[in-house]
Amino acid sequence: MPLSLPETLAAWPAGDLPATLNRELSAAGPACLGLQRQLRYGSHVTGRPQFMILGTDADDSCLSVRLGVFFQSVLSGCACADDPTPENEYNEYTELRLDIDRRDASVRVTPI
């Protein structure tokens, strides 16, 4: 399902952009941001990401949000009794640019 952020778009520039963006992204889930492709240490995204707005820019057609994303991943073994690989959780970080179309609030996510 494509990502859409109508409340975030409505909250810019005078509203509470950080809280609104955080609420909408949390509701959409980590899969909508492509975090699985941004893993450095683990093999699977777990938990709820935390978001930090690093900057915004806007023109007539688009609101661009540069976003820092803190999330966790896990490197899991096969879960066999003799598997020496424990399940470890890792802290991960990535930066994304969200381009929110000002006509319909659809979002294009680009890794930075």
In a domain, 39, yes or no: yes
pLDDT-derived band of residue 2, with 50, 70 and 90 as boundaries? confident
In a domain, 94, yes or no: yes
pLDDT at 99 over 80: yes
In a domain, 1, yes or no: no
Are residues 72 and 89 in contact, defined by beta-carbon separation less than 8 angstroms?
A: yes
Question: With pLDDT > 90 as the criterion, what percentage of the chain qualifies?
Answer: 64
Q: What is the pLDDT of residues 11-65, one digit of tens each?
A: 988 889 999 999 999 998 888 999 989 999 888 888 889 999 999 999 999 999 9
pTM, rounded to two decimals: 0.85
In a domain, 37, yes or no: yes
The larger pLDDT score, comparing residue 89 to residue 86, is at: 89
Q: State the Cα–Cα distance between residues 101 and 6, nearest whole angstrom.
A: 9
pLDDT at 1 over 80: no
What mean pLDDT is reported for the chain? 89
Domain count, the chain: 1
The distance of Cα 23 from the centroid of its chain, to the nearest Å, equals 12
In a domain, 20, yes or no: yes
In a domain, 63, yes or no: yes
2 preceded by a cis bond (ω within 30 of 0):
no
In a domain, 76, yes or no: yes
Q: Which domain holds residue 105?
A: 6-111
